[in-house]
Amino acid sequence: GQPDKTCNASVGETVVLPCSATSPGELNHSTSRLYWQIDSLVVHFFPSGQDLLKFQDKRYRDRTSLFLDQIEHGNFSLKLSNVQLLDAATYTCIYKQTGDYPNKTQKSKVKLIVSGK
């Protein structure tokens, strides 16, 4: 489908790819997983309230971060620093709740357009 949002950035800039929960009242870190992906490539993985970056594609190493103090309020946005031309893609933000809400999955897509300096 079409991306939910489109972001623009220039090479070398920092961009925030927006993603937020539809119902932040039910967020429980210990039973949740947050993924940022491009198709099957892992850009950022945050299970159970911890960054787990060993599965992260090396192209994104040390360039991605989440707003940790905002996640519980439903802000799953990804900050991507030192944007490169190769970063232009459609990113998928996936939030999965396990435990009491095993079927609660949210997905949104953000298209990033990168322009040269």
The residues that bridge with 106 in the sheet, in sequence order, are: 95
Round to whole Å and give the CA distance between 107 and 94.
5
**What residue segments make up the domains of the chain, in order of their start?**
5-115
CATH architecture for segment(s) 5-115: Sandwich (2.60)
User: Which pTM does this prediction carry?
Assistant: 0.90
Q: Can you give the pLDDT at residue 106? A: 87
Round to whole Å and give the CA distance between 4 and 12.
24
Residue 50 CB contacts under 8 Å (≥ 6 apart), including other chains? none
pLDDT values of the chain reduced to their tens digit, one per residue, 117 residues: 688 999 999 999 999 999 998 775 667 777 888 999 999 999 999 998 888 988 899 999 999 999 988 988 889 999 999 999 999 999 999 998 876 655 678 899 999 999 987
DSSP annotation of 20 reads B
Q: H/E/C letters for each residue in 38-106?
A: ECCEEEEEEECCCCCCCCCCHHHCCCEEECCCCHHHCECCEEECCCCHHHCEEEEEEEEECCCCCCEEE
